[in-house]
Structure 1
Amino acid sequence: MQNKITHLFNIKYPIVQGGMIWVSGWRLASAVSNAGGLGLIGAGSMYPEVLREHIQKCKKVTDKPFGVNVPMLYPDIEKIMEIIVEEGVKIVFTSAGNPKTWTSFLKEKGIKVVHVVSSVKFALKAELSGVDAVVCEGFEAGGHNGREETTTFALIPMVKEQLKIPVIAAGGIGSGRGMLAAMVLGADGVQIGSRFAATKESSAHDNFKKTILEVKDGDTQVTLKELAPVRLVKNKFYNEIQELYQQNPTKEQLIELLGRARAKRGMFEGNLDDGELEIGQIAGIIHEIKPAKAVLNDIIEEFNAVKAFIHHI
């Protein structure tokens, strides 16, 4: 299955694993890369030296391409970028910030750069900044989200119409059917997060993985738009946010309620009541914890079967 994305990253399948905080360590990234996709280490939840350790461990267990996802709203960004260059990482996905800030620096070092966007406006800005591709992430996605509330399948064709560089679709894609639908609409590849969060190699806590299997439609919601919009499972902490909203809170009050390390508490430490549990709407079709390789194989098998079926209609 060769196309622009497989050529860009030198991978077998145009499937990128989401670089999710507290979920995407070296075990998951290497497993996806070894299975033919592009694994990403999620730097957003790592101190610089922890990231270095994950990159080094990943290099030991795969000779396939892998990358690092860097949300630019986190501190220590300069150290993180230095480590990425020092460790010879060849692919970086940036998000939550201006792509101009780091793209030229990374490109000068021979690194492929992809930026995550949630609108046509920001996709065009990313292309102008010189990125190699964009990820178009729709409102269905888990974790930090766009303010525009544009769904993935509305966003893909609008972005594709405007851009010359490759487009990767993300948000609400967790199956071969979803992958095929995204590519029919113009995507050159897909990025899948939630489905890989629920794998054996994911660094998520078992409590969180079990919760993913229980999530149904309507069990997640985007909230905290005044800070940074984030899709959460409706748990005790989510309910506390909604109760605070009834009082017309100030931004400072929301920050105080959020506190520190909520995502770590929920997804990494398994506190299902007081932690942030970030997952996408597509969790409703996830019913089993499998190895990452099996998940990727399932997606490709279904993609090929449905594509063949449509061809014969």
Structure 2
Amino acid sequence: MALRTRLTETLGIDHPVLSAPMDVVADAKLVRAVSAAGGFGILGGGYGNRAWLAQETAKLAGLRQPFGIGFITWSLAKQPELLDIALAAKPAAIMLSFGDPARFAPDIKQEGARLICQVQDEAMAGQALMAGADILIAQGTEAGGHGALRTTLDIVPAVVDLAAGRVPVVAAGGLADGRGLAAMLTLGADGVLLGTRFYASQEAAGADEAKRRICAAKSGETVRGIIFDLSRNNVWPAPFTGRCLINDHARRWMGREVELLQQVERVSADYMKARTEGNFEVAAVIAGEAVGLIHDIPPAGEIVARIVGEAEQILAGRSNSSRLPRNGTKE
């Protein structure tokens, strides 16, 4: 059975699987690999490094498959001209997260790109729909990186109900395999967006040690809070906090955030040094609760194929089981 949804139709893709626009980690190489496999790769525009964005969008020139470019909305507002660089690359969609998209929606639509908005509650979803969002991503707190407090199991059906069929809804947060895709489709979502699973892929631009740590981590070995934001002197607006793997630095400062803030200059210097040196007992590995489901570092295309194949089998089995009589024997 083919997993054709409103999402695949809207974006012109084969499979309802999107890779998250992880800052720096989701570079052109990862985007190309995911899109070539029939998914939808999204370049990680992140906080807006002009040189990096120009470099990576140039590498996407000539890509036949649809792809997207994602930004942190409140950060893009400080450098709105970066949207012009992104739109010049002719993406099929621009993804905006963490802030009101209304300022940027007209320019995105005028260039013929779809507007994807990631939201964490119904108020944000309503705001995105008012701005003209073509696709909503309902992000649960299990997601790696920045997010809020609603769980994926809670926020996805809530946003599906709010959207009421007007636009496709994509689920994000704690998902890494075909079981997650099948479950979210059953909840009414039209696809999934995955970050941590694609971080641990051969094409992702993350450090090898970070990928190894994701594979070694067990369920429950991540933490959400403000420690790594304070440590890099980059405090986010409420209600957004960050999730990463637990390490020595997180253990040291959990419950002592006020003290960390008082020592932020020294801590920030040490933290940036650790990032440069690849010391991930201090520097954060941005990862979500899906780490317990991730045990290898395959090509991104293989990840897409695995997830879709497993979901197809699960949903086909569910369909077959629904035709069984109550005594468990086939009719």
TM-score norm. by structure 2 comes to 0.86
Instruction: Answer yes or no: is 1:241 the counterpart of 2:249.
Output: no
Pairs within 5 Å for 1:5-84: 5-44=7-46, 47-60=49-62, 62-74=63-75, 77-84=79-86
Tell me, yes or no, if structure 1 residue 259 matches structure 2 residue 268. yes
How many residues are treated as equivalent by the alignment?
306
Partner letter of residue 306 of structure 2?
D
**Separation in 2, partners of 1:263, 1:201:** 24
| Deviating more after overlay: 296-305 vs 96-105 | 96-105
| Aligned match for 1:274, one of 265, 282, 285 | 282
Contact 1:262 1:274 in 2 (8 A): yes
SS at match of 2:254: helix
> 5+ unaligned residues in a row in structure 2: which ranges?
228-234, 322-331
Offset at residue 86 of structure 1 (A) = 2.4
CA apart distance, 1:264: 10
Q: Which amino acid aligns with 1:211?
A: R
The match for 2:242 among 210, 217, 230 is 230
- In structure 2, the residue matched to 1:285 is 293
Give CA-to-partner distance per residue, 1:249-295, whole Å, 9 cap, x none.
Answer: 48x537547637958965x8632122121101011110111000111
The match for 1:191 among 190, 193, 197 is 193
| Greater Rg by CA | 2
Q: 1:264 to 1:158 in 2, by over 3 A?
A: farther
Q: Name the amino acid aligned to 1:301.
A: G
Q: Matched residues in 1 for 2:255 and 2:175: separation?
A: 31
Tell me if 1:175 matches 2:183: no
Partner of 1:136: 138
Task: Give how far 1:90 is off.
Answer: 2.9
Which digits, 9 at most, give the CA deviation of each residue in 1:129-178, with x for residues without a partner? 111011000010000111xx111111111111111221110001111111
Shift of 1:101: 1.9
The amino acid across from 2:179 in the alignment is R
- What is the CA–CA distance in structure 1 between the aligned matches of 2:279 and 2:209, rounded to whole Å? 8
CA deviations 1:61-105 (Å, max 9, x no partner) are x31011101112336531210101222223100012111121122
Counterpart of 2:219 in structure 1: which amino acid?
D
Indicate the residue corresponding to 1:153 in structure 2.
153
Residues 143, 127 of structure 1: alpha-carbon distance in 2 compared, 3 angstrom cutoff: same
Identity %: 28
- Alignment counterpart, residue 207 of structure 1, candidates 198, 206, 209: 209
In the alignment, which residue of structure 2 is the partner of 1:299?
A: 307
Query: Deviation digits for residues 1-36 of structure 1, max 9, x if unmatched?
Result: 322111111111111101111310001000000000
Query: CA offset at residue 120 of structure 1?
Result: 1.1
Q: CA 1:257 to 1:142, structure 2 compared with 1: closer, same or farther past 3 Å?
A: farther
Task: Report how far residue 191 of structure 1 moved.
Answer: 0.4
RMSD over aligned CA atoms reads 2.2
